[in-house]
Structure 1
Amino acid sequence: MAPEHLNLTPQQALSRLVPHILEMESKAHARIMIGIAGGPGTGKSTLAAELVTMLNATHPGSAQLIPMDGFHMKHAKLEAMGQTDYKGAPHTFEGAEFVSFLHHLKSAKQEVSGPGYSRKIEDVVEKAFTVAAEVRVLIVEGNYLLLSEGPFAGARPLLDYAVFIDVPRDLVQTRLLKRHGEEGLFSEERNRAHIERNDLPNYDLVCLSQDRADVVISLITDQ
């Protein structure tokens, strides 16, 4: 079935998603997993974090953010593979490990810790978050949740509801240049080259997977 397509501001998107997820949670007999997918620079991480905050404001401790970025391959491993120029592409993630982690989380009855990713050091941070036993809603966000090939293909069947966030390519390019420059780790020339070689092709790949979502939200934003 084709996904529903909506044009919404970020606030409108939250206002639509929160009641829907609360209703799903009220009818579920176990944990539910909500996927927030989209290309790099689309604002999905911000939206997912705000979603968790709003869900927890309604039912404290009920929701937890699960970032796919914690499953980047360690930078040292990418260096050894000669793949640092392609960091962020699907093959530079521990995709099978990520899907296995989601599978474990869905049925876990005890506290579970998971990895995160720090842009300040451009590397993985172990035990960056903890999912408490009482958490009922897992908000999973990442670029490759809806891919139909490779290890990430195992993620979509675990999602009870999948949201794809769509933002125009030129706006994404502008945002990525700003993001890469914020920590001052690399030159602007390097950042531009990385975006053209890696980030935008990844964005294009992710856009091909949007038909596997339940709803596609084109975010109305001017920055």
Structure 2
Amino acid sequence: METVEVDLDALARRVRTAAGSRTRIVVGVCGAPGAGKSTLAAMLVARLNADVSGTAVVVPMDGFHLARSVIAVDDRADRRGAPDTFDPDGYAALLRRLREDTGPVVYAPEYRREIEDPVAGAIAVPRSTPVVVTEGNYLLYDHPAWREARASIDEVWFLEAPSESLRIERLVERHERFGKPAEHARRHALGPDETNARLVFGHRDRADLVLRWPRW
């Protein structure tokens, strides 16, 4: 599949064309840890909202991290970020609500890195918002629960970093920024994060579009 460079204007046009006159469209950004998914999602939403305020909102998959108290009872605490440390059924149910609910607002959870836990009801999605951008590692994961989530996403883009070395360095820096000692940050980036990255890369060919950052 051809890889194209990130072009915010072109992506915004693509979203607007896909949305047409529909009530709501859900666009997904998938990629390995540290690829810049949340950055792209935020930039795209800001670009869309610059044209028409209230057009778009970000609803990350990371809001469905299982709480630390849940994964502390087994080995998942050492593998946080793996598919089984999330609640994919809850994520799929939220995406269905975002596509089908006719109520005035849908509230979504948000993952807070400063506490390393999700916070319920942190993101409001008014009925009048026509574009939802969701981002996460496993939007293309070929497992029944994750396929249910994918079914409610109109198209999924796979995002790549300019290089793997930059992706890993960015990931280490993020771990350090949120309190991990330097050695622990690098060990986590090269251990559990890299295991998850290899899994995510295996689903690249299932994307509707493959993107790469031209630079950081």
Aligned to 2:97: 104
SS in 2 for 1:117: strand
SS in 2 for 1:158: coil
Q: Structure 1 counterpart of 2:166, which letter?
A: L
After superposition, residues 15-94 of structure 1 pair within 5 angstroms as 15-28=9-22, 30-94=23-87
Aligned Cα RMSD in Å?
1.4
Unaligned runs of 5+ in 1: none
Aligned to 1:170: 165
- The answer to whether the 8 A contact 2:95-2:153 is kept is no
Q: 2:3 aligns with which of 5, 8, 20?
A: 5
Q: How many residues align?
A: 214
Q: Structure 1 counterpart of 2:198, which letter?
A: D
Q: Structure 1 counterpart of 2:15, which letter?
A: I
CA distance in 1, matches of 2:74, 2:147: 23
CA distance in 1, matches of 2:146, 2:182: 31
Unaligned runs of 5+ in 2: none
Q: Please give the TM-score of this superposition, normalised by the length of structure 1.
A: 0.91
1:116 has 2:110 as partner? yes
Percent identical = 36
CA distance in 1, matches of 2:3, 2:21: 25
Offset of 1:82 from its aligned partner? 3.5
The runs of 4+ residues in structure 1 deviating greater than 2 Å are none
SS in 2 for 1:163: strand
